[in-house]
Amino acid sequence: MEVLEWKFDDFFQNDESFFKELELVKNELSLVSNNSEKDSLYDCLKIYYDLSYRVEKLFTYATLKSDLDISNQTYIAYKNDIHMVQGLLDNFLQSINRIILSSGDVVDDFLKQDSRLVNYKMHLYEVLRLKKHNVTNHLIEQNTLLIPKINNLYSIIQNSELEYKCVDIHGSMVPMDSSNYEKYFSVVSSNTRRKMLDACMESLGTVNKSISNLLELRLQLCYGIAREKGYTSVLEQVLDEDDLSIDIITNLKESTNSYLPVLERYYSLKKKVINKDKLYSYDLVSSHPYQRNLSFSESLTIVKEALSIFGKDYLHVLDQVLHDGVIDVYPKKGKFTGSYHWRNYTKPMILMNYTNTFRNVFVVAHELGHAVNGYMIKENHPFQDFHFSVFLSEVASKTNELILGHYLITHAKSKNEKLYLLEEQISTFIQSVFQQVMYFEFNEGLYQKIENKEMLSTDDINELFYNLRKKYSPGVEIGKNEQYWWQRRLHLFYEQYRYYNFQYATGLLIALKIATDIINQKNNMLDKYLKFLTVGGSMPTLDSLKIMGIDFSKDDVFEDGFQYFSQLLDQYEELILKS
């Protein structure tokens, strides 16, 4: 029997035990932060990672408890306490890193001095690789502490204080928050979708200035940190921290823009299918409605059947995930809207707001991809090698979605179902590649103004987004009120994310290579992929991809992905013409 709510026993039994541990960690940190030079480097690293693991448990508990009830101020206060603790932990880390930087330039030299340091090889590698950027000062510390406060304010406005306009849906007045918008948008008439869009945008317009000011402040803080660390831009910092080349970004943008005419071809075809002279953004749902209500249990059955291609060992881990209380499945009053996977070493945690719509089966597959990946890494590596580059974050989840999509198309029982599923796959590609590159360019344009010390007004933000939305929706009529849509992009505000959007695109394109090779039984990809899922942060980012033969020094990774998109469109058009 699957567990449908979060179980926090592996973190803390209750708030009392949480608070007791928080005080213990505070006290221990106050002691060790002054003793780093008295202990060996190995001992310092061991103490640091032991404390990091405990702080991660504290932060996970407080954050997830808060997300179950956004209005509960207790856990917000706890999170603020933990941010102070993280500041102390960062100070301890900086003192350790100063020792490393003053003691050598090559990892092997450290290992010769103390063979036990092999347990922290990647830490040494990363510190030495980023040597000239390993800077900390009061401004960096101050800015770092302010960023999560912006996230909290954004979350409070969006999930608690914003009064969403209501729309009449099946005789009931329904507020157009994220959860209801997702739930109803694809299952109502075009006229109702237009009303839903207008109501949502009108609601966001009421807080546009507040959210814009929060975004500008966040961008300024992130840019300040990047400059203090010796980078010319936030993008340079993001790429360098993940050991990535700017060529990846350049190739991604060029490839995406070169395929905009193919995207326009799809939208032109869609106009013919729905028999409209003009195509609006609220028309971008399946033209072949396929209504199928699925309980959460039914979704799990389908996902398991699709993922059986990975073999029994993968399914064994998947069953463990489902029985460990790592998923909070259903919507609740005050609960954070949307869905996410919270990566942490204790156990991965998934927040969902599951409704019985068929689309949610893909959300289930996506989030379980993250979770199984986390379990497999933990089985093979200690805490210090668990966390990996965000560049790889979406690979496992997107691979699951693609495998599921292929399975569903293969087992479609009618032409209409197959058309619906093909549209879903096309839509996934559009949302994960074209739309994410759009958001990348949005970030890039905003940061360029900050970096050039230009004024960044609310109107500037809205206009930039509106123009990009039109560019990346060729052949679609975009209403002026859609200039507010960026406010729903959570990643613009989440504290650990900067330029995160391009990694959805690269994640899907990498996943396409993996999924198609597994399906076609090519290049021994299944064995390579299962090995990749165990790697975590135990090796450099691009080296872990080379396990699967994926090399970004070659252009075919992106080109193959866009060719797949064209082939999907060909299948869809061929099936349409048979009507």
CB under 8 Å to 305, separation ≥6 — which residues? Answer: 407
The confidence score (pLDDT) of residue 429 equals 94
- On whether both 501 and 561 belong to a single domain, the answer is yes
Tokens in use for 414?
């009618």
- Mean pLDDT, to the nearest integer, of 244-253? 90
The confidence score (pLDDT) of residue 43 equals 95
Confidence class for position 19, pLDDT limits 50, 70, 90 = very high
- On whether both 457 and 532 belong to a single domain, the answer is yes
Could you tell me which of 329, 328, 326 has the C-alpha nearest to residue 343? 326
In a domain, 286, yes or no: yes
- On whether both 56 and 108 belong to a single domain, the answer is yes
Number of H helices, E strands in the chain: 23, 5
- On whether both 158 and 127 belong to a single domain, the answer is no
Q: Is the pLDDT of residue 557 over 90?
A: no
DSSP 71: T
- On whether both 76 and 158 belong to a single domain, the answer is no
- On whether both 570 and 447 belong to a single domain, the answer is yes
In a domain, 363, yes or no: no
Q: Is the pLDDT of residue 291 over 80?
A: no
Could you tell me which of 214, 208, 175 has the C-alpha nearest to residue 484? 208
Q: Is the pLDDT of residue 558 over 60?
A: yes
**CA separation for the pair 567, 361 (Å, rounded):** 24
Q: Is the pLDDT of residue 187 over 70?
A: yes
Q: How far is CA 491 from the centre of its chain?
A: 7
Convert the pLDDT of each residue in 350-367 to its tens digit.
999 999 988 899 999 999
The confidence score (pLDDT) of residue 416 equals 87
Residue with tokens 């090796």: 539
In a domain, 5, yes or no: no
- On whether both 553 and 427 belong to a single domain, the answer is yes
Radius of gyration of the chain (CA): 24
In a domain, 531, yes or no: yes
In a domain, 332, yes or no: no
In a domain, 188, yes or no: no
The confidence score (pLDDT) of residue 37 equals 60
In a domain, 99, yes or no: yes
- On whether both 77 and 158 belong to a single domain, the answer is no
- On whether both 130 and 225 belong to a single domain, the answer is no
The confidence score (pLDDT) of residue 41 equals 95
- Mean pLDDT, to the nearest integer, of 281-289? 84
Return mean pLDDT, the chain. 92
* Residue length of the chain: 579
Q: How far apart are the first and last CA of the chain?
A: 44
Residue with tokens 């990647």: 122
The dihedral over CA atoms of 487, 490, 491, 495, expressed in degrees to the nearest 10, equals 110
Q: Are 348 and 368 in contact (CB under 8 A)?
A: no
- On whether both 539 and 427 belong to a single domain, the answer is yes
The confidence score (pLDDT) of residue 376 equals 98
Q: Are 285 and 193 in contact (CB under 8 A)?
A: yes
User: In which domain, by residue range, is 545 found?
Assistant: 154-162+207-292+410-577
47-61, 62-76, 141-155, 519-533: least confident range: 141-155
What is the number of domains present in the chain?
2
Convert the pLDDT of each residue in 416-457 to its tens digit.
899 989 998 999 899 999 999 999 999 999 999 999 999 899
Could you tell me which of 155, 152, 183 has the C-alpha nearest to residue 167? 183
Percent of the chain with pLDDT over 90: 71
Q: What are phi and psi of 106, to 5 degrees?
A: -125, 135
In a domain, 281, yes or no: yes
33-37, 207-211, 410-414: least confident range: 33-37
Convert the pLDDT of each residue in 561-572 to its tens digit.
898 999 999 999
Percent of the chain with pLDDT over 70: 98
Element (H, E) at 419: helix 415-429
- On whether both 216 and 129 belong to a single domain, the answer is no
Could you tell me which of 406, 391, 424, 434 has the C-alpha nearest to residue 512? 406
**CATH number (domain holding residue 105):** 1.20.140.70
- On whether both 229 and 86 belong to a single domain, the answer is no
Question: Which residue type, as a one-letter code, is found at position 437?
Answer: V
Partnered with residue 167 across adjacent β-strands are 174
Q: Are 510 and 547 in contact (CB under 8 A)?
A: no
**CATH number (domain holding residue 514):** 1.10.1370.20
